[in-house]
Structure formats: C-alpha cells, structure tokens
C-alpha cells in the first residue's frame, strides 16, 4: 500500500509540474546584454499633476540641476503598455525615435506593463493607477484602453497618424521648475534603498506627493506589433508573424517605493521657499529579470 501510494504521489506531482508554466519549455527567455537600472522620482501638486521629474542611474548620486535660480524641468510620461499590445510600439517609437535624439533632457518616460502573459506586468499597481488616471483625465474612462500615456498626470497623450504627437510633450516643458530633486541610491539585485531630497524655490503651503520608481532598460522580449510605422525602418515594421522578436523594452517599472500609486505625502509645513525636504532612507523591493 505504501509503495502504491508513493508511486501515485510521484505521478501526481509530475503531472502538476508538466503543466506548470514556470517550467514550460515554450516560455520565451528575457534577453538583453546592456541592461541598466535607474531611479525615477516625480513630485506632484495637490491636484496630482507632476511639477517635476528626475532620473538617475542606480548606485549614483544625482544632484539638483540648476537653471539660473530655479531647477531643470522635465515632463513625466507614464506609458501604460504590454508586450501583447499591438499598437503600443507607436508610443515607444515616438519616445525613442522622435523625442530622445534631440530632446532627451526634456522628459522622463516610464513603462507600466499589464497582462497575465507579460513577464514585466507591474501588478497590482499598474491596473490601479490606470483606473485612477483614466477616471481623472478621460470623459469616458471605460473607453480608455492601451496604449494609454498620460503626460504629467494632467492630460492624455494624443495619437497623430502612425505615432504620438511629440509637440504635445515639448509644449509642456517649462523654462524651469520651482522644485528640484536630488537622488541617491544603493540598489542590489532585488532590493535596496533610495534617499531623495526636494528643494523648494516657491511657497506651496500645501501637502505635495512624490513617487519613486525603479526601472530597467535593455530588456529583450518579443513584442506584438501591427503598427506598420515605417517602411524604411525595419526595426519598427510589422513582421510576417505579427511581432518584433528582439524588441528592446526600456524604462520598465519593476518596483516602487511604498504601495500608494498616487505617491507619498510631503507635509505642507515642509513645502515652503528655501526649505529642503529629505525623505531619509527609503527601502524598496523589485523584480529580477
């Protein structure tokens, strides 16, 4: 009886293992030789609109960037996307081909992935933030699908033909920002810490919020595509099987400080001109790919 029970148990375990997608030989591995982890920090006003955003490579110190007496300003792009999303390469194309070459210092983009079959899915936070921003920005939130790319959490990035409108981003860039952001991080493979300081050159006298994302560049994984963006750009042109096999995914959000997608509060008494608010050491966990 014991031997029969043991054999039956082994057979049962093997049957479960053979169906487990974690050991499925058909799973596509994630490539990428030139990966880079970065920290992205944005600060928001009392209405939830981004005032400024800053980025820094992991394990480096990024000081305040000055523009005369104020600070360098950048626009925040939060790209809600998925490896399954056939139209999402249009957003990536606009960011990497139309904006980055000449305007890389005027914006910071992060990619928030969704989908049960997407290895980069940022659950449950992506779905939660998608719902909040759709309700905030869209007349008919239920109709907001993917791609969905809010700018500064204040307006929806609009499509222009085969890509998205780069001028909409550039028109939001200000000469300077009254809030500067300093970043210092100590990150390992799956966890670490970030310290952020905010310097104010303007009285806000109201609570502000900030978000800290951990993102990774250079992740190679197939991307579904039907965009046919350009006949002369084979990297972005639809392949015969409807996907780009070696698509490079950049700015993939793999972690976030805290659990509030709207950000952590900076008290009103800390948001006055001349003050510096420092977060102290913020612990963060994130995925490893």
Number of domains in the chain: 1
Question: How high is the mean pLDDT of the chain?
Answer: 89
pLDDT tens-digit map of 109-124: 999 999 989 999 999 9
Asked if residue 12 is part of any domain, the answer here is no
Asked if residue 252 is part of any domain, the answer here is yes
Q: CB–CB of 172/75 below 8 Å?
A: yes
pLDDT tens-digit map of 44-67: 999 999 999 999 999 999 999 999
The closest alpha carbon to 250, from 282, 284, 223, belongs to 223
- pLDDT grade for 242, boundaries at 50, 70 and 90: confident
Region 146-157: mean pLDDT is 97
210 is in which domain, residue-wise? Answer: 37-285
Count the neighbouring beta carbons within 10 Å of the beta carbon of residue 39: 26
Residue 14 has pLDDT above 50, yes or no: no
CA separation, residue 258 to residues 99, 121, 242 (Å): 31, 17, 38
- pLDDT at residue number 6: 37
- Angle value at C-alpha 77, between 123 and 230, nearest 5 degrees: 100
- pLDDT at residue number 228: 62
Phi then psi dihedrals of residue 169, to 5 deg? -70, -50
Asked if residue 83 is part of any domain, the answer here is yes
- pLDDT at residue number 5: 36
Q: 179: which 2 tokens?
A: 């809030």
| Alpha-carbon span 239 to 235, nearest angstrom | 9
Question: What percent of the chain clears pLDDT 90, i.e. is strictly above it?
Answer: 80
- pLDDT grade for 235, boundaries at 50, 70 and 90: low
pLDDT tens-digit map of 208-231: 999 999 999 999 999 998 866 654
Q: 169: which 2 tokens?
A: 């981003």
Asked if residue 27 is part of any domain, the answer here is no
- pLDDT at residue number 226: 81
Asked if residue 16 is part of any domain, the answer here is no
| Alpha-carbon span 237 to 253, nearest angstrom | 25
Asked if residue 8 is part of any domain, the answer here is no
| Alpha-carbon span 55 to 77, nearest angstrom | 12
Q: What is the radius of gyration, based on Cα positions, of the chain? A: 21
| Alpha-carbon span 264 to 285, nearest angstrom | 16
- pLDDT at residue number 161: 85
Asked if residue 24 is part of any domain, the answer here is no
Residue 22 has pLDDT above 50, yes or no: no
Asked if residue 72 is part of any domain, the answer here is yes
Higher pLDDT, 155 or 27: 155
Q: CB–CB of 90/162 below 8 Å?
A: yes
Does residue 91 sit in helix, strand or coil?
A: helix
């Amino acid at each position: 009886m014991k031997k029969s029970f043991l054999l039956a148990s082994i057979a049962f375990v093997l049957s479960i293992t053979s169906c487990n997608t974690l050991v499925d030989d058909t799973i596509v591995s994630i490539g990428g030789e030139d990966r880079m982890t970065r920290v992205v920090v944005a600060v928001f006003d009392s209405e939830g609109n981004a005032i400024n955003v800053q980025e820094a490579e992991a394990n480096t110190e990024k000081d305040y960037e000055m523009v005369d007496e104020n600070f360098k300003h950048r626009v925040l792009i939060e790209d809600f996307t998925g490896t399954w999303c056939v139209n999402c390469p249009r957003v990536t194309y606009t960011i990497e081909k139309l904006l980055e070459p000449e305007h890389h210092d005027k914006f910071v983009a992060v990619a928030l992935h969704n989908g049960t079959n997407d290895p980069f899915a940022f659950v449950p936070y992506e779905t939660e933030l998608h719902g909040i921003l759709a309700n905030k920005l869209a007349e008919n939130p239920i109709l907001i699908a993917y791609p969905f790319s809010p700018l500064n959490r204040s307006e929806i990035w609009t499509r222009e033909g085969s890509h998205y409108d780069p001028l909409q981003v550039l028109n939001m860039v200000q000469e300077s920002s009254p809030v500067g952001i300093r970043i210092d991080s100590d990150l390992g493979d799956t966890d670490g810490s970030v310290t952020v300081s905010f310097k104010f050159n303007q009285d806000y006298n109201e609570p502000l919020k900030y978000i800290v994302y951990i993102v990774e560049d250079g992740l190679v994984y197939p991307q579904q595509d039907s965009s046919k963006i350009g006949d002369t750009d084979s990297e972005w042109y639809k392949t015969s099987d409807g996907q780009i096999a070696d698509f490079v995914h950049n700015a993939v959000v793999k972690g976030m400080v805290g659990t509030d997608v709207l950000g952590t509060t900076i008290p009103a008494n800390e948001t006055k001109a001349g003050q510096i608010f420092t977060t102290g050491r913020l612990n963060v966990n994130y995925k490893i790919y």
